[in-house]
Structure 1
């Protein structure tokens, strides 16, 4: 019965996320005072989410995935060469207002390191490859985001982006959960109590993703509501990104001869963005850029809607199980 119940939660995770989003919208719009109380919870819930997510994948497979240099280079190339070119082109369609552009650039130039693992699994992709790439993607985006902001917007904006919030995010949200997950798996191999703890943690990935979505959206939705006119302009850009990047990811995977699992993983790391982790950085911007967090959260809402579609479209049409890519 326990196993069946866990399977039910896994199978119905997208509807459960939808419930969390609807509840968050209700709280965010109906209880304006909740924003200040929920905002400090963003990093803690993200850290727990990543811990239980990392626990789902045995570390022996993660170590094996690290040796796949082809996938790692492809993920880096898509996220830090192809994506910036696409984003720069798409943002030419936006009003050239720095307060809007900085939010768009911050979220679209940073690859996802959390729920990309979940959505890759839902689409039948190689989640081990995504998990192995996560620390590398986080470190590289920490280094290159100020550079791209300087290239696209000039030094006036780039100088506001400090390394501190990103370093803190890496330690709290990536390094600490990854270390604790490794320690938990090591203890579980030698201890019945440790194994029982790990088994109990298997219930949490879906509830924690729902909790994370609830906290982020409910805490930031008042910002979106108060600037809906300015933010509406970014929605078509976010939708276009969701359409363009899966196609480019599929072409790249085919050119590299990747199998179905790797192809889906490359596609999802190319399209999902780091909105949840970038949000604390956007909140740290000067008062003149107070709209940037709302621009980031808007991307989260658009992307989640797109993921519901992509988890079905990718395995059925873009990368079906019967297709093995050979670059032809």
Structure 2
């Protein structure tokens, strides 16, 4: 328990160390990138398993019955976000590889470390965890449609449903099922309860390991193409600024509580870069820059999350008043 508390208190520092070590490996031994890349999916599974264990399923089912939050989160991610992305990407170069990478990552809401960052900001992580399957399934269905709308039929045809389905089953459904089985085991067995308790220290190391393998395996791609993909950085930064503000407005319009409002802000701004990356890596010849564009978003977003976990609870959505209302929005302007 002491270890768990210590890790949680120092988790931002732990993530910074993981990224620093990954950068050292990426720059010092770029030839190791293909080997490290093989560990992306396994560490993602471990991360999500540990994350899902944090939320008891009896409360998870209750959170999933909140239709108002679910509807608002879906509207933000699949109506508001596409409009914002379309506007922001008008300034990008007309390179299919860069545009596909940017659209793939910005149009897909996060289903993994969004839970951790929501919890860090004092948001309702249970609601985020509850809607994770819905977010994944809807993005699976809509991403090809958005690519067709934004870039045309030929580019949309490049994105196959098979890898996305495989990613969902492997990276989301598998750890979710394992977490459910673990919780059921823990309610019936002392050894199961002991195992579940021991897993309480795992989320922070698992997140650190995930960041390490992603950065160490993909930064060489970014460093080799930095001149071409630098244009996406302002777009990613603008997205980090705009979406929490729009989420605050939406939360006020539907009358969400503070915890749910913070959760809405983080699900609206965090993107699915870790899950989308294997899809970007599977794109055909001519799209070699797309993975680098996705990884660039990961690096920008991680820096932004460090700031947002402080800005959201301290300024954007503070603890008082307890509910975000139209009056509070007008008062904060």
Partner residue of 1:325? 324
Q: Distance in 1 between matches of 2:225 and 2:182?
A: 44
Shift of the alpha carbon at 1:327? Answer: 3.4
Give 3-state SS (helix, strand or coil) of 2:230's partner: helix
Alignment of 1:33-112 (within 5 A): 33-112=31-110
Partner residue of 1:197? 195
| Preserved CA contact (<8 Å) 1:235 1:302 | yes
Give 3-state SS (helix, strand or coil) of 1:218's partner: helix
Partner residue of 2:247? 249
Shift of the alpha carbon at 1:11? Answer: 1.2
Partner residue of 1:310? 308
Q: Distance in 2 between matches of 1:7 and 1:312?
A: 19
| Preserved CA contact (<8 Å) 2:3 2:201 | no
Q: Distance in 1 between matches of 2:78 and 2:249?
A: 17
Deviating beyond 3 angstroms after TM superposition, the runs of 4 or more aligned structure 1 residues are none
| Preserved CA contact (<8 Å) 1:49 1:212 | yes
| Preserved CA contact (<8 Å) 2:167 2:275 | yes
Give 3-state SS (helix, strand or coil) of 1:61's partner: helix
| Preserved CA contact (<8 Å) 2:214 2:274 | yes
| Preserved CA contact (<8 Å) 1:50 1:174 | yes
Give 3-state SS (helix, strand or coil) of 1:288's partner: coil
Shift of the alpha carbon at 1:99? Answer: 1.0
**Structure 2: any 5+ residue segments left out of the alignment?**
328-333
Shift of the alpha carbon at 1:24? Answer: 0.7
Alignment of 1:60-209 (within 5 A): 60-209=58-207
| Match for residue 212 of structure 2 among 202, 211, 214 | 214
Q: Distance in 2 between matches of 1:191 and 1:327?
A: 49
CA RMSD of aligned residues (A): 0.7
Shift of the alpha carbon at 1:5? Answer: 2.3
Give 3-state SS (helix, strand or coil) of 1:258's partner: coil
| Preserved CA contact (<8 Å) 2:63 2:126 | yes
| Preserved CA contact (<8 Å) 1:130 1:265 | yes
Q: How many residues align?
A: 326
Q: How does the TM-score come out when normalised to structure 1?
A: 0.98
Shift of the alpha carbon at 1:210? Answer: 0.4
| Preserved CA contact (<8 Å) 1:112 1:269 | yes
Q: Distance in 1 between matches of 2:178 and 2:152?
A: 40
Q: Distance in 2 between matches of 1:23 and 1:285?
A: 28
Q: Distance in 1 between matches of 2:325 and 2:89?
A: 34
Q: Deviations for 1:244-291, whole angstroms, at most 9, x for unmatched residues?
A: 000000000011111100000000000000000000000010121011
Give 3-state SS (helix, strand or coil) of 1:110's partner: coil
Shift of the alpha carbon at 1:303? Answer: 0.2
| Match for residue 277 of structure 2 among 276, 279, 295 | 279
The question of 1:238 aligning with 2:236 is answered yes
| Preserved CA contact (<8 Å) 1:260 1:319 | yes
Q: Deviations for 1:15-61, whole angstroms, at most 9, x for unmatched residues?
A: 10011011111111110121110111111110111001000110011
Q: Distance in 1 between matches of 2:58 and 2:294?
A: 35
